[in-house]
Amino acid sequence: MGFLKKLKDTFSSKQDNDYYLSGLSKSRTSFASKLKRLGSGFKGVDEDFLEELMIILLEADLGIETAEKIIRGVESKAIETKAKSMDEVNDILFEEMQTLYNSFEDEEFKFNEDGPTVILMVGVNGSGKTTTTAKLANKFKNEGKSVLLIAADTFRAGAVDQLKRWADRIGVDCVMGKNNADPASVIVDGCRQAKENGNDLIIADTAGRLQNKVNLMKELEKMHRVIDREIPEQPAAVWLVIDATTGQNGISQAREFTTATDVNGIILTKLDGSAKGGIVISIRNLLGLPVKYVGLGESVDDLKEFDIDSFIYSICGESDEE
Ligand SMILES: Nc1nc2c(ncn2[C@@H]2O[C@H](COP(=O)(O)OP(=O)(O)OP(=O)(O)O)[C@@H](O)[C@H]2O)c(=O)[nH]1
């Protein structure tokens, strides 16, 4: 059985697959239909074919380095298997994307057994950080966790109120930082409140400024230090929010964060508004970090756990365009 067919079978058996399909419809329409057009004139895997395929990958935002890696893989596998049709090449291509994604080891996110677990949300302003913080709170609350939000992004006027409004709607507590307050001090207040209340999970909306790396590093170090003091030996997870529509630019911003602190995972937002879903593969190849969740819309439920197979099927499966 071909690779795409296998993906389709597992995909059909999964819950939430409609979400993936509709959230990624822009990427699918663009990517799958371009592959279909390329396949309509298929004469074999030669230089011209690989060049056209490269363009499709670049347009899907895989970035040069990642696209070249995939192309090299497709070329050698196509020669090895003597691929004679576009369906066979597609199977090779999709499997290369999966293999690349799965070639990194990921650490699983675990809840602390004693004391609250802390997640620090980082990312540039406008990436969807505040909305994603709320979406996560909602998800974990629905799974039975008692969640406390900390609005520590005290530099953007309105960010704190925005998170508080979300917290009220979702029905979780929120510790609010005052305008321009030191984010670390807001985090201390939050940790203390969570310990008093016996919360399972603290999610803190933090540093949103793209500033110089030294300051960013100091700010994040300070946050880690105070958390370590308040909740000893329970390192905070750091999840970086990236706006998928900012493409390769978003990846350079991400680098600023990953070199400033240990980031444990990526949340890619606004994939529903982007035709360039290939950024997932690029992020993975360039940063080596797992995509934990994807944002597929503006409402509080539009956050889905990332799953590489569902993702590949949703952008590569049958095109909606006939
Ligand atoms: N379509 C879509 N919109 C999203 C998604 N995630 C966030 N948004 C929208 O993106 C905009 C910015 O989101 P915010 O959460 O305010 O962004 P932020 O990064 O917190 O920005 P600051 O608060 O300025 O740091 C809002 O209009 C959100 O509704 C998503 O997955 N899909």
Within 6 A (CB) of ligand 1 lie: 123, 125-131, 153, 156, 159, 208, 269-270, 272-273, 295-298, 302
Neighbours of 94 (CB within 10 A): 22
- The 3-state DSSP class for residue 15 equals coil
- Rg, Å, the chain Cα set: 21
- Residue 165: which residues within 8 A CB-CB, separation 6 or more? none
Q: Is 115 left (phi over 0), alpha (psi -120 to 50) or beta?
A: left
Q: Print pLDDT tens along the chain (322 aa).
A: 789 888 888 888 887 788 888 888 988 889 988 999 999 989 999 999 999 999 999 999 999 999 999 999 999 999 999 999 999 999 999 999 999 999 999 988 999 888 899 999 999 888 999 999 999 999 999 999 999 999 998 877 788 899 999 999 999 999 998 878 889 999 999 999 999 999 999 999 986 666 677 788 888 889 999 999 999 988 889 999 999 999 888 888 888 889 888 899 999 999 998 888 899 999 999 999 999 999 999 999 999 999 999 999 998 876 544 4
> Is 206 annotated as ligand-binding?
yes
**What is d(CA 55, CA 156) in angstroms, rounded to the nearest whole number?**
39
Pull the structure tokens for residue 71. 């192309």
| pTM of the entire predicted model | 0.92
Probe residue for ligand 1, chosen from 120, 124, 131 as the CB with the greatest number of ligand atoms within 8 Å? 131
* Confidence check on the interface: ipTM exceeds 0.85, yes or no: yes
What are the boundaries of each domain within the chain? Answer: 117-263
* Residues 78 and 47: beta-carbon distance below 8 Å: no
Probe residue for ligand 1, chosen from 269, 271, 296, 300 as the CB with the greatest number of ligand atoms within 8 Å? 269
Residue for token pair 């079978």: 9
Fold (CATH) for 117-263: Rossmann fold (3.40.50)
**What is d(CA 277, CA 270) in angstroms, rounded to the nearest whole number?**
10
Residue for token pair 């329970």: 234
Nearest to residue 121, comparing CAs of 135, 108, 141?
A: 135
Residue with the smallest CA separation from ligand 1 atom 22 is 125
- Please spell the DSSP secondary structure of 143-156, one letter per residue: TT--EEEEE---SS
**What is d(CA 242, CA 258) in angstroms, rounded to the nearest whole number?**
12
* Residues 175 and 204: beta-carbon distance below 8 Å: no
